[in-house]
Structure 1
C-alpha cells in the first residue's frame, strides 16, 4: 500500500529569519519502517518543489543514532526531496493514508486550507491520518464532511510546550501546539519525560509527540495497514 508523507515548505521562522523546515529524522524513521515492510511512502509538500531541512535535525544526537545522517549522505534518497508535488496537486484517492511530518516549518504552513482539506479527505474516507511532533498542526481546525471537528473527542499528542522551551524555540513559534491540541481534542497527553517516545492511537488517528516517536508512529501505522 501507499502512504502519502507531507512536508512543510516553510524554510524560515517568520520572526527571526532563522532557518527551519522538515525535521529529517521524522521522515526517514517513518519511511524506513513502512518501506522495509513492503509498503510505499511518497513525499509531497505544501507548496511543491524542493523541501527545506531544519539544520538542527542533522545535529541532534538521538536522530543521528537513528540513522538519519546515513540517509542524508545518500544522494539517491535525498533526491526524493528535490522536486515534490504540492499537496493541492496530489491524487489523494491513491493513498491508504497520510503522514504529517514534523519540523517547525509546519507551524507556518500546515495551518493552510490545502493541508486541512487533504487531512479531511483521508479522515472522511476512513483512512489513516497520522503525524508526529509538529506535524499534528495539520489536524487543527479540520472540519469533516458532517460538519464536526476532526479532533472532537479524540485522543492525541504532539510537541509539548516544555519541549518547545527546551529547544529554545518558544519565542519563535506563533502559538503553543500543546495548548491548541488540548483545546480541540478530547484528550491531549504527553510522555512523563520530555523528548521521550510517546505515541497515541485512536482508531485510524495516530500521533507521536516528538522526534523520538517517529519510528513508533510508523509501527502503529504499519499495524493499521495490516
Structure 2
C-alpha cells in the first residue's frame, strides 16, 4: 500500500498581490490519519520541486501543521515534490488531491495527473480530494471515455464559501458550478466552512479545509477496515 498526495505549484491570483499555494492543513490533517497506519507516501505536483504554501494557512495555530511541517521527511517531500512523469501509477493504491486556491490553475488540465488517477482507480484503488483540489477530478476520464465524476456524489469548495472569502472574481472558475456542469451530483453542508464529505464507492471528497481529516479517516476506513 502506498499513497500519492498531489499539491499545487501555482501562487498567483488574477489581481491580488497576496500569494496562494497549498492550504497546508489539507495535506497535514489528511496525512496525520494515514500516519496512524504507517502508510508510505509520495508528494507530486504538476511541475515537481518546491510546493508553495499559502501563507494564511501557516499563520493559524494548528498543532497538526506544526507537527508535520517540522517533520524532516514530510518537509523534504514538500520541498522536493516529484513530477507526474516520475510516477508509476501501479505503485499506488490511493491518490489524494490537496487544495489551496492555486490548484484551480494547475490541476484541471494536467493530463498526466488525469492518467495517473484513471490507472489507480481502474486498478481498484481509491481517489480522494478536498476543497479546491476536487478540481483535479473535473476532466478525468475513464478508459471507456466517461467522466470519473459524472453521476457521482461529490462535494468541493462551495460558491457561498468563495463569496464569503471575497475571492469569486479572483479565481478562473467556481468549482461548484463546474462540478455541476460535469454532471456530478454535487452536495454541500448547510452551513459554510463546516466539515463535510461525500463518499461514492472508491471516491471520497471533502468540501473545505476542515474536511481534510474526515476524508483521511474515511479513506483509511475503506482501505483497512473492509
SS at match of 1:67: helix
Contact 1:155 1:185 in 2 (8 A): no
State whether structure 2 residue 8 is matched by structure 1 residue 11.
Answer: no
Mapped to 2, the partners of 1:40 and 1:171 lie a distance apart of 39
Mapped to 2, the partners of 1:41 and 1:215 lie a distance apart of 16
Mapped to 2, the partners of 1:128 and 1:73 lie a distance apart of 28
- Structure 1 residue runs of 5 or longer lacking an equivalent are none
* Pick aligned residue for 2:156 from 152, 155, 158: 158
Shift of 1:122: 1.9
Contact 1:119 1:138 in 2 (8 A): no
- How do 1:1-226 residues align onto structure 2 when only pairs under 5 Å count? 1-60=1-60, 64-65=61-62, 67-112=64-109, 113-226=111-224
Deviates more, 1:109-118 or 1:193-202: 109-118
Shift of 1:212: 0.4
CA RMSD of aligned residues (A): 1.5
Mapped to 1, the partners of 2:30 and 2:207 lie a distance apart of 14
Mapped to 1, the partners of 2:206 and 2:55 lie a distance apart of 21
Contact 1:29 1:66 in 2 (8 A): no
Aligned residues: 223
Mapped to 1, the partners of 2:199 and 2:7 lie a distance apart of 21
Shift of 1:78: 1.8
Mapped to 2, the partners of 1:77 and 1:129 lie a distance apart of 21
Mapped to 2, the partners of 1:185 and 1:120 lie a distance apart of 18
| Structure 1 residues 74 and 94: CA distance shift in structure 2, 3 A | closer
SS at match of 1:174: coil
Mapped to 1, the partners of 2:68 and 2:136 lie a distance apart of 26
- Structure 2 residue runs of 5 or longer lacking an equivalent are none
TM-score by length of 1: 0.93
Mapped to 2, the partners of 1:105 and 1:44 lie a distance apart of 14
Mapped to 2, the partners of 1:130 and 1:41 lie a distance apart of 14
TM-score by length of 2: 0.93
